[in-house]
Structure 1
Amino acid sequence: MNLVNLMEPEQQVSFSEAVKIGLGRNQGVFFPENLAAIKDVDALLAMPFKARSSKILQHLIGDELPSDTLDDMVNRAFDFPAPIVEVEQNTYCLELFHGPTLAFKDFGGRFMSECIGLFNQGERVTILTATSGDTGAAVAHAFYGKENVDVVILYPKGKISLAQQKLFTTLGNNIHCYAVEGSFDDCQALVKHAFLDDEVKSKLGLNSANSINISRLLAQVCYYFEAIAQLSQSQREQVHVSVPSGNFGNVCAAMIAAAIGLPIRKLSATTNQNDTVPRYMATGDWSPNATLESLSNAMDVSKPNNWPRVESMLNSGIFSKDDFYSCSVSESRTQEVMKQVNKLGYVAEPHTAIAYEGLQINKSEHETGIFLATAHPAKFKESVEGVLEQQLDMPQVLSDALNKPCLAEFIQADYDGLKQRLFEKLG
């Protein structure tokens, strides 16, 4: 698999190199040079989830990984389901919260852990990542207790739910967490700064587990195939998928799935009030505003890292601009939609409600709609119960985490201060 740095196209690397590097020169993200279509998609959709996922990843990655090795990696990483649930006629929710940390990022985090373990071959690595909510837990649990791996997680202090936070700040061991005074974009800026610091990169063996990392992105392609596989043959003809979008990695994976042959006809990348991309699509002016706090905090991102990948596919025609929609949903409307979906008999946390609303705005009557539930409602217990005025059952994994002490340290959004902490703890 040949991957190109979208900022500096002369930097071309293999899949294993991209996984180990994480971020390319000049903060560029890596993207496949070619996305060839799979020949018999119907036969692929007839396969079981794990076997199909291994075939998809083999198609994307190529011959870098032996098929039996990749089979084993997928079997360990994807040991939980991704069901679709019919919410109303011809409209389905793809539930991606059945993994160990109850969020879609378990798929990418666990596959990345498999890749790092294989490619680093005992060399020391430090995973440095920023989280707006769910990445932290998924990555922390995927790498917890792994030899020669330290994980450093930065999150915006007070701006993610308590349940999200406790899932990763209570682990300790090789998981090191810092609550940053600032926004997710501030955390992300610190991560990017570290990747430009040769001393930090060489001394700590730096890597990133954000959706910057190509291994996470490719893993996410697989569950879109699983969603379509659960539809009838006739329903597959006109599928419209709505993805709640913050860093735009999830919708990027959907576009890759479509590019290699999955019959996704239209995509809605639906944001909260942090509407950089919808405004850009409407005006052509890229002008990120200060990040606003929202009920859908995992999407509180004004400068999405994966937008260069999405824009590259749109500009090259890999996915048609005419079939790509992006709109924003206000805080008040998010709450209204949560109530609306609840009346249909389904409990949607804020991110899921935003995806549902994007589908309602953009879907045509004849299309089959799929909207993504990226996290379990209980991860946003306070907001969901407050809006819906009903009690939620708490999954055991969350109950256990909430009863443990937070081990995170507080820091300012200052790179020199972070660097000093990293060297003191890990150097």
Structure 2
Amino acid sequence: MELFNLKDDSDKASFAEAVKKGLGKNQGLYFPKQFPKFENIDELLALPFVARSVEILSRLIGDELPKAEIQGIVERAFTFEAPLVKVADNIYSLELFHGPTLAFKDFGGRFMAQVLSVIAKGQPITILTATSGDTGAAVAHAFHGIENINVVILYPKGKISLLQEKLFTTLGDNIHTVAIEDDFDACQQLVKSAFDDEDVRVGLHLNSANSINISRLLAQVCYYFEAVSQLSEAQRQDLVISVPSGNFGNLTAGMIAKVMGLPVKHFIAATNSNDTVPRYLKTGEWQPKSTVATLSNAMDVSQPNNWPRIEAMIEQGLIDKAILSGDAVDEDYTQVAMKQLANLGYISEPHAAIAYRSLSRHLEPEQTGIFLGTAHPAKFRESVENVLGQPISLPQPLADCAGKEILSTELPNDYAQLKAHLFSILKG
């Protein structure tokens, strides 16, 4: 698999190199210029999830990893289901929260951990990543206890739910967490600054597990195929998928699935009030605003890192821009959508509710719609209970960590202090 730096075409990398480096020169994203295409999609969709995922990832990665090795990686990573649940006559939720940290990022996090443990060959690695909620837990649990790999997770202090925070800040061992006194965009910028700093990048063997890492992105392609496999052939003919979007890795994966032949007629990029992309799709002008805090805090991103990959697919002619529309949902309508879903007998948290709202607003009667359920509602227990006025029980993974002590270090948005902290905890 040959990948190119979107900011410097001369900077090329193999799959293994891109996984280990994370970012290319000038903070550029690695991305291929072409993708394999499956001719017989129905035959592929008839396979079980793990077997199908092995086929998809083997075609994407190529001969860099033997197929038997990819099969082992997938079998260890994808140990849970992604059911398609009917919500209304022509609307379904793809539930991606049945993994160990109850969020869609378990797919990418666990796949990346298994890939790195194979390709690192015992060399030390430091995973440095920023999270607006779910990435932190998925990455922490995926890498917890893996030998020779340390993980440092930055997150915005006070801007994620307490249960989200406890899922990844209570593990200890090789998992180090830092609460930054600013927003998620500031956390992402600190991560970028560290990768630009050769002393840190080389000295600590840096790697990023954000959705910018190509391994996480490729893993997410698989559950789009899993969603469509659960529909009838008739329902596949006019399919719309609504994706709750923050950093836009999830939507990028869906677009890759489309390029590979998955029958999707249209995608909706559903955002909260941080609506940089929906405005851009309407006006053609990229004008990020200051990030605002919302109920759907994992989507509180005004400068999404993965958007250049979608732009690249459009510019390279792999995707027709017409198949994508953007839709922003404000706080009031987020709560309305949560109540509408509850009235349909489906309890949802704010992120999925936004995707549902966008889908129901634009879906035509003859179409089939899927919205992505990216997190278990209990991860946003306080918000869900406040909006719906009914108690939400805690699933076991959350109950287990609820009473544990948070082990984070608190730091201001200051790169020099972060750098000093990194060397103190990782070099002693």
TM-score normalized by the length of structure 2: 0.99
Distance in 1 (CA, whole Å) between partners of 2:219 and 2:44 is 16
Match of 1:46 in 2: 46
Counterpart residue type for residue 102 of structure 2: L
The residue correspondences of 1:281-360 to structure 2 (distance < 5 A) are 281-360=281-360
Distance in 1 (CA, whole Å) between partners of 2:305 and 2:174 is 26
The residue correspondences of 1:383-398 to structure 2 (distance < 5 A) are 383-398=383-398
Following superposition, the deviation at residue 425 of structure 1 comes to: 0.8
The residue correspondences of 1:126-145 to structure 2 (distance < 5 A) are 126-145=126-145
- How well do the aligned residues superpose, as a CA RMSD in angstroms? 0.7
Following superposition, the deviation at residue 314 of structure 1 comes to: 2.1
Match of 1:60 in 2: 60
Structure 1 unaligned regions, length at least 5? none
Counterpart residue type for residue 120 of structure 1: A
1:18 aligns with 2:18: yes
**Matched residue of 2:17: which SS?**
helix
**Matched residue of 1:81: which SS?**
coil
**Matched residue of 2:13: which SS?**
strand
Q: Deviations over 1:252-276 (max 9, x none)?
A: 0000000000001100010000011
Counterpart residue type for residue 348 of structure 1: S
Structure 2 unaligned regions, length at least 5? none
Distance 1:334 1:158, change over 3 A: same
Distance in 1 (CA, whole Å) between partners of 2:80 and 2:260 is 24
Following superposition, the deviation at residue 316 of structure 1 comes to: 2.7
Give aligned-pair identity as a percent: 59
Following superposition, the deviation at residue 184 of structure 1 comes to: 0.2
Following superposition, the deviation at residue 319 of structure 1 comes to: 1.7
Counterpart residue type for residue 295 of structure 2: L
Is the CA contact (8 Å cut-off) linking 2:33 and 2:316 kept in structure 1?
no
The residue correspondences of 1:60-139 to structure 2 (distance < 5 A) are 60-139=60-139
Match of 1:200 in 2: 200
Distance in 1 (CA, whole Å) between partners of 2:333 and 2:97 is 23
**Matched residue of 1:9: which SS?**
strand
Distance in 2 (CA, whole Å) between partners of 1:126 and 1:60 is 26
Match of 2:179 in 1: 179
Following superposition, the deviation at residue 365 of structure 1 comes to: 1.8
Distance in 2 (CA, whole Å) between partners of 1:22 and 1:237 is 37
Distance in 2 (CA, whole Å) between partners of 1:202 and 1:60 is 28
Match of 1:159 in 2: 159
Counterpart residue type for residue 33 of structure 2: E
**Matched residue of 1:263: which SS?**
coil
Following superposition, the deviation at residue 9 of structure 1 comes to: 1.0
Is the CA contact (8 Å cut-off) linking 2:241 and 2:370 kept in structure 1?
yes
More deviation in 306-315 or 217-226? 306-315
Counterpart residue type for residue 353 of structure 1: A
More deviation in 408-417 or 34-43? 34-43
Is the CA contact (8 Å cut-off) linking 1:325 and 1:362 kept in structure 2?
no
Q: Deviations over 1:308-330 (max 9, x none)?
A: 00111123332211110111100
Distance in 2 (CA, whole Å) between partners of 1:157 and 1:252 is 28
1:148 aligns with 2:148: yes
**Matched residue of 1:301: which SS?**
coil
Q: Deviations over 1:46-76 (max 9, x none)?
A: 0000000000000111111111111010000
**Matched residue of 2:98: which SS?**
coil
1:264 aligns with 2:260: no
More deviation in 377-386 or 390-399? 390-399
Q: Deviations over 1:315-370 (max 9, x none)?
A: 33322111101111000110011001110000110000000011122222211100
Match of 2:225 in 1: 225
Match of 2:247 in 1: 247
Following superposition, the deviation at residue 231 of structure 1 comes to: 0.3
Match of 2:191 in 1: 191
Counterpart residue type for residue 288 of structure 1: P
Following superposition, the deviation at residue 36 of structure 1 comes to: 2.3
Q: Deviations over 1:195-238 (max 9, x none)?
A: 00011011100000000100000000000000000000111111
Following superposition, the deviation at residue 41 of structure 1 comes to: 1.0
Distance in 2 (CA, whole Å) between partners of 1:56 and 1:407 is 39
Q: Deviations over 1:136-183 (max 9, x none)?
A: 000000000111010000000000001100000000000000000000
